[in-house]
Amino acid sequence: MIKISAKNVDVFYGKKQALFNINLEIEENQVTALIGPSGCGKSTFLRCLNRMNDVIDICKVQGEIVINDFNINDKGCDVVRLREKIGMVFQKPNPFPKTLYENISYGPTIHGMAQSKQEMDEIVEISLKKAALWEEVKDRLHEPGTGLSGGQQQRLCIARAISVQPEVILMDEPCSALDPIATAQIEELIDELKKEHTIIIVTHSMAQAARVSQNTGFFHLGELIEHGSTDKIFKNPENNKTQDYITGRFG
Amino acid sequence: MNKNKEKLLAKRYSSEKRFQFLGKSAIFMALLFLAFFIFKIFSTGYTAFQKTWLIVPVNFDAETMYLDANPSKEDLEDADYFEISLQSMFNLDKNANEKQQNELKKMVSYFFEREIKQELINDPSLLGKTKDVYITASDDLDQVFKGNYPRDLPEKQRRVTDYQLKIFDQLVEQGKVESKFNLSFFTYPDSREAELAGIASSFMGSIFSILVCLAIAFPVAVLAAIYLEEFAPKNRFTDFIEVNINNLAAVPSIVFGLLGLGILLAVFQLPRSTPLVGGITLSLMTLPTIIIACRASLKAVPPSIREAALAMGASRMQTTMHHTVPLSMPGTLSGTIIGLAQALGETAPLILIGMVAFVNTIPGSPMDPAASLPVQIYIWAESAERGFVEKVSACIMVLLGFLIVMNLFAQIIRHKFEKKWS
């Protein structure tokens, strides 16, 4: 099943074009990895999917991005609703400087998802359990989230993202600030999460892409060079540039 | 080659040493000036916190006061105290001629009648008896007792006559002169007589001005800063506004005073000399300071927090109100307090809107005429009497104390509530 399909997406930062005519389809309940060298536009593309580029004044997005038969670049699209459906995890863990509990309950609160304190407690617990953080933090839910280790903070951010039950989770190099053990935990988590969510992950590590994803797209200089199943991209790429990149000849 | 390298290294070390030496001497100089300044103020001003009293026996004679044996409270209020007050001063020297009697009367403040009256009202049983009463000495004798007055000047150049000095010295010998804590400096309004002048009016004036200033400047400045920083599009027009806010912060305060005079007093007809007008004028001055502080602390909130909130589906308003603004509040508040401290020390605009008027009542609201502490310093510094010299320094001490407390408060807020970004 196709969850998201991008058609002829162009992105401009002022006069500079950052993405050229991207066409990409993303499968539901699978992990899609976006790889490519720095500055190739993979993060820019990811940020198009929940319209985070709106924040940047000079950024202009053209083309169609259809999610659930609805073009999110339409004027009628409500970004607040959209971001409720499409969660995001950032490169650097960015928990709110509030308690763990408040970090998780923030999304459900603003979207009115819990009718009572009890329901909220449940949401917090489930989200933390899904993010494999519950056992570590259940005794200190009311301590500041910034007091956790880097890996725990990132899992907290994942728990925060899934607290509003998004259909899609965007991950922008979620492990680049973490050590190998924390990275392994997150990767395991991603595998678990794909049962309920569609995941798109931007990563610099080809090994990570190979480990966690079912589909891979390779970006280079703002163009989508090749995409397909991860197996095929890594074992039998069609394009020479892809071949060169995954074998480490550049990037 | 190697030698050259060593030479270069030695040069680098010596230049660093030179720089450190210059830095240290700069700090030393600054501290020296500060120490000198503080020493000067304290050494001149500390005597103002003491006041000299003459202890004079007063005969509360009912007949002289036109009172019967059992007067009611109203009778005591309405009684004539002038005669017994005058008489008790004359009694200090029974052989005084008329001119000398006049000089005797001038040895105490013109308040002496009221001080004697208060004594009887506090204790009506004194009627018909004689009691030693503390009476405020005149400011000249006050200065003589504190040793601030040169006694060796020729009599004509002194405000104290030889006769007054003679009687005063007799009193000192008898232990009838006492120096006590000068409570009236804090509880009395301004007066033309140095011994009775206090800072109550100007202190309250300052407090009311600052409150009015805070009430106007804080909400306006914070709203402006939040809108400019978080919502306004970045274009030429907002750049223009930003430049102008920065310019506004650099406008000399007297210009704001003229604005207050021309608009608040002339156009809106607000009452002259009041903390209300003073506060509004000061708020114009404080506005850019708070806007700049608030914007700086909004800018200091990491963008990742905004992104996190936006990505959770918070609207811009929610992102701002739930996350950015609370995180920026410590910086904003300490900037506000520093802006208020600046406003507190401002003199020129207040002079222009008439807060320099002689006010001998304590204001009960921002609508009553009042002075302010810095203007009080200005008024007293202009006065000729010796008694005001120490008062100027004492008033400076109070103002400095006020400012130190405010700045300390700002520091505490900043340190205690500011989030540390790891």
Q: What is the pLDDT of residues A129-151, one digit of tens each?
A: 988 899 999 899 999 888 898 88
Please give, rounded to a whole number of angstroms, the shortest distance from the CA of A173 to a CA of chain B.
Answer: 14
pLDDT at B419: 63
Residues of chain A contacting residue B309, judged by C-beta atoms under 8 Å apart: 96, 106
pLDDT at A102: 93
The reply to whether residue B234 touches residue A57, judged by beta carbons under 8 angstroms, is yes
Q: Which residue of A has its CA nearest to B231?
A: A55
Query: A14 touching B, CB under 8 A?
Result: no
Give the C-alpha separation, A155 to A150, whole Å: 9
Q: Residue B389 has which token pair?
A: 């010299």
pLDDT > 90: percent of chain B: 40
Please give, rounded to a whole number of angstroms, the shortest distance from the CA of A222 to a CA of chain B.
Answer: 23
Q: Which of A80, A90, A94 sits opposite B315 (nearest CB)?
A: A80
Average per-residue pLDDT for chain B: 89
The reply to whether residue A107 touches residue B302, judged by beta carbons under 8 angstroms, is no
The reply to whether residue A90 touches residue B422, judged by beta carbons under 8 angstroms, is no
pLDDT at B422: 42
Structure-model confidence comparison of residues B42 and B80, the more confident one: B42
Q: Which residue of B has its CA nearest to A55?
A: B307
Q: Which residue of B has its CA nearest to A79?
A: B313
Please give, rounded to a whole number of angstroms, the shortest distance from the CA of B273 to a CA of chain A.
Answer: 47
The reply to whether residue B309 touches residue A106, judged by beta carbons under 8 angstroms, is yes
Query: A94 touching B, CB under 8 A?
Result: yes
Average pLDDT over residues B358-384: 88
- In the predicted model, is pLDDT for residue A120 greater than 90? yes
Query: B238 touching A, CB under 8 A?
Result: no
The reply to whether residue A106 touches residue B306, judged by beta carbons under 8 angstroms, is no
Please give, rounded to a whole number of angstroms, the shortest distance from the CA of B322 to a CA of chain A.
Answer: 10
pLDDT band (50, 70, 90) for residue A101? very high
- In the predicted model, is pLDDT for residue B156 greater than 90? no
CA angle B149, B154, B155 (to 5 degrees): 80
Average pLDDT over residues A147-170: 92
Domain ranges for chain B:
53-181, 200-417
Cα dihedral sign for B363, B366, B372, B373? positive
Give the C-alpha separation, B12 to B24, whole Å: 18
Which of A159-163, A193-197, A199-203, B93-97 has the least mean pLDDT?
B93-97
- In the predicted model, is pLDDT for residue A168 greater than 60? yes
- In the predicted model, is pLDDT for residue A17 greater than 80? yes
Which residues fall within 8 angstroms of residue A194, CB to CB, at 6 or more apart? A29, A30, A31
Query: B316 touching A, CB under 8 A?
Result: no
Please give, rounded to a whole number of angstroms, the shortest distance from the CA of A80 to a CA of chain B.
Answer: 5
Query: B357 touching A, CB under 8 A?
Result: no
Query: A47 touching B, CB under 8 A?
Result: no
Would you call A36 helix, strand, or coil by DSSP? coil
The reply to whether residue A96 touches residue B302, judged by beta carbons under 8 angstroms, is no
Which of B37-51, B92-106, B294-308 has the least mean pLDDT?
B92-106
Query: B315 touching A, CB under 8 A?
Result: yes
Query: A43 touching B, CB under 8 A?
Result: no
- In the predicted model, is pLDDT for residue A93 greater than 70? yes
Residues of chain B contacting residue A83, judged by C-beta atoms under 8 Å apart: 310-313
Average pLDDT over residues A185-210: 91
From the candidates A59, A96, A165, which should be mutated to test the interface with B, based on the most B CB atoms within 10 A? A96
From the candidates A94, A154, A173, which should be mutated to test the interface with B, based on the most B CB atoms within 10 A? A94
**pLDDT per residue as tens digits for the range B203-228:** 999 999 999 999 999 999 999 999 99
Query: B131 touching A, CB under 8 A?
Result: no
Look up residue A54 and give its DSSP letter: G
pLDDT at A23: 92
pLDDT band (50, 70, 90) for residue A33? very high
Q: Which of A81, A97, A160 sits opposite B419 (nearest CB)?
A: A97
Which of A247-251, B99-103, B292-296, B388-392 has the least mean pLDDT?
A247-251
The reply to whether residue B308 touches residue A95, judged by beta carbons under 8 angstroms, is yes
pLDDT band (50, 70, 90) for residue B1? low
The one-letter amino acid at B281: T
- Counting one residue from A and one from B, how many pairs have CB atoms under 8 Å apart? 62
Query: B422 touching A, CB under 8 A?
Result: yes
**Which superfamily does CATH assign the domain made up of A2-246 to?**
P-loop containing nucleotide triphosphate hydrolases (3.40.50.300)
Does B200-417 carry CATH code 1.10.10.10?
no
pLDDT band (50, 70, 90) for residue B281? very high
Which residues fall within 8 angstroms of residue A87, CB to CB, at 6 or more apart? A50, A161, A162, A164, A166, A168, A169, A170, A197, B311, B312
Query: A57 touching B, CB under 8 A?
Result: yes
Q: Give the highest mean pLDDT range of B2-11, B210-219, B352-361.
A: B210-219
Please give, rounded to a whole number of angstroms, the shortest distance from the CA of B413 to a CA of chain A.
Answer: 17
- In the predicted model, is pLDDT for residue A30 greater than 50? yes
pLDDT at A132: 87
Taking alpha carbons only, the member of B111, B38, B300 closest to residue A97 is B300
pLDDT > 70: percent of chain B: 99
Which of A86-100, A132-146, B53-67 has the least mean pLDDT?
B53-67
pLDDT at B420: 57
Average pLDDT over residues B19-30: 97
Query: A41 touching B, CB under 8 A?
Result: no
Q: Give the number of other Cβ atoms within 10 Å of residue A87's Cβ.
A: 27
Average pLDDT over residues B51-57: 89
Q: Give the number of other Cβ atoms within 10 Å of residue B386's Cβ.
A: 17
Q: Give the number of other Cβ atoms within 10 Å of residue A243's Cβ.
A: 15
- In the predicted model, is pLDDT for residue A39 greater than 90? no
Query: A176 touching B, CB under 8 A?
Result: no
pLDDT band (50, 70, 90) for residue A48? very high
Q: Which of A57, A97, A107 sits opposite B312 (nearest CB)?
A: A107
Average pLDDT over residues B327-354: 90
The reply to whether residue A110 touches residue B323, judged by beta carbons under 8 angstroms, is no
Which of A25-34, A239-248, B30-39, B306-315 has the least mean pLDDT?
A239-248
- In the predicted model, is pLDDT for residue A249 greater than 80? no
The reply to whether residue A52 touches residue B315, judged by beta carbons under 8 angstroms, is no
pLDDT band (50, 70, 90) for residue B233? confident
Query: B305 touching A, CB under 8 A?
Result: yes
Q: Which of B233, B306, B311 sits opposite A83 (nearest CB)?
A: B311
pLDDT band (50, 70, 90) for residue B79? confident
Q: Which residue of A has its CA nearest to B315?
A: A80
